[in-house]
Structure 1
Amino acid sequence: MYHPRAHIPKEQGGVMAEYDALVNHVAMWNVAVERQIQVKGPDAEKFVDFVITRPANIIKPMRGKYVILCNEEGGIMNDPVLLRIAEDEFWFSISDSDIEFWLRGVNIGKGFDVTIAEIDVCPVQIQGPKSEALMTDLFGSAVSDIPFYGLMEGTLNGADVIISQTGFSGEKGYEIYCLDATLNAEKVWYGVLEAGEKHNLKVTAVAHHRRIAAGILSWGQDVDQEVSPFQCNLAYQVPKDKEGDYIGKAALEKARAQIDTGYSPYPLGMVGIVFGGEPVIDYANDFWLIYGEEGDDAVGYVTSPWYSPELETNIALCHVPWNGRDVGTKYRVALPTEFGGEVVEAEVVSIPFRPSVNPNSREVEKSRTSAPVS
Structure 2
Amino acid sequence: MFSITPSTRIRPSPFFDATVAEGVTSFTVYNRMLMPTGFGDPEAEYRRLLEGVALWDVAVERQVQIAGPDAARLTQILVPRDLRKCVVGQGRYVAMCNHAGSLINDPILLKLADDRYWLSIADSDMLFWARAIAAERGLDVAISEPDVSPLAVQGPLAEDVVAALFGDWVRDLRYFWFRETEIAGIPVAVARSGWSKQGGFEIYLMDGARGSELWHLVREAGRPWDIGPGNPNAVERIESGLLSWGGDTDDRTNPFEVRLGRFVDLDVPDEVVGIAALRRIAAEGPVRHQLGAVLEGEAPLQPTVLWSDIELDGRKVGDLTNCAWSRRLGRNIGFALVSVSAKPGDAVEVLIGGRRVPAALVELPFF
3-state SS, counterpart of residue 323 of structure 1: coil
Q: Report the alpha carbon displacement of residue 310 of structure 1 after superposing the two structures with TM.
A: 2.5
Instruction: Confirm or deny that 1:346 pairs with 2:332.
Output: no
CA spacing shift, 1:323–1:48, aligned 2, 3 Å: same
The match for 1:233 is 259
Q: Give the whole-Å Cα distance in 2 for the aligned partners of 1:279 and 1:199.
A: 33
Indicate which of 341, 350, 355 corresponds to 1:333: 350
Partner of residue 8 from structure 1, selected from 16, 39, 46: 39
- Give the structure 1 partner of residue 73 of structure 2: 46
Residue 123 of structure 1 pairs with residue 150 of structure 2: yes
Q: Distance in 2 between matches of 1:244 and 1:45?
A: 15
Please tell me the root mean square deviation across aligned C-alpha atoms, in Å: 1.9
Q: Distance in 1 between matches of 2:66 and 2:170?
A: 26
Which residue identity does 1:272 align to in structure 2? G
Same amino acid, percent of matched pairs: 34
Q: Does 1:186 align with 2:204?
A: no
Aligned-partner Cα distance in 2 for 1:139–1:63: 19
Paired letter, 2:292: G
Which whole-Å deviations, capped at 9, do the CAs of 1:278-320 have from their partners, x for residues lacking one?
443878663222122x42x543211121122232222211211
Where does residue 308 of structure 2 map in the other structure?
288
Maintained 8 Å contact 1:65/1:83? yes
Measured against aligned partners, the alpha-carbon deviations of 1:146-189 in whole angstroms (never above 9, x if no partner) come to 111110122223211000000101111100000022x2212211
TM-score when normalising by structure 1: 0.85
Q: What are the residue-to-residue correspondences of 1:1-374 with 2, within 5 Å?
A: 6-9=37-40, 14-181=41-208, 183-259=209-285, 264=286, 266=287, 268-280=288-300, 286-292=306-312, 294-295=313-314, 297-324=315-342, 326-336=343-353, 342-354=355-367
In 1, distance between residues paired with 2:36 and 2:330? 22
Query: Structure 1 230/152 Cα, relative in aligned 2: closer, same or farther at 3 Å?
Result: same
Residue correspondences, number:
336
| Counterpart AA for 1:7 | G
Q: Which amino acid aligns with 1:103?
A: A
Return the offset for 1:4. Answer: 8.4
Is contact 1:4–1:206 with CA below 8 Å preserved after alignment?
Answer: no
The separation in 1 between residues aligned to 2:303 and 2:225, in whole angstroms, is 28
The separation in 2 between residues aligned to 1:84 and 1:320, in whole angstroms, is 35
Paired letter, 2:52:
H
**TM-aligned CA deviation for residue 92 of structure 1:** 0.4
8 Å contact kept, 1:331–1:345 = yes
Match of 1:370 in 2: none
Distance 2:250 2:152 in 1: 24
In 1, Cα distance between equivalents of 2:134 and 2:269: 20
Amino acid aligned to 1:202: G
Mapped contact 1:65–1:82 kept (Cα < 8 A): yes
Which string of whole-angstrom CA distances, capped at 9 and with x for unpartnered residues, describes residues 127-161 of structure 1? 00010000011101111111111101222232110
Identify unmatched segments of 5+ residues in structure 1: 355-374
SS of residue paired to 2:341: helix
Normalising by structure 2, we get a TM-score of 0.86
- Please say if residues 35 and 60 of structure 2, whose CA atoms lie closer than 8 Å, have aligned partners that are also in contact: no
Distance 2:47 2:75 in 1: 39
- Runs of 4+ aligned residues of structure 1 deviating over 3 Å after TM superposition are 1-6, 278-285
Residue matched to 2:24: none
The 1-side partners of 2:51 and 2:162 are apart by 16
Gap runs ≥5 in structure 2: 1-28
For residues 204-253 of structure 1, what are the alpha-carbon distances to aligned partners after superposition, in whole Å with 9 as ceiling and x for unaligned?
12111111122111111012432111211111122233245310111111
Describe the SS at the equivalent of 1:198. Answer: helix
Distance 2:197 2:109 in 1: 18
2:5 match: none
Contact 1:81–1:92 (Cα < 8 Å) also in 2: yes
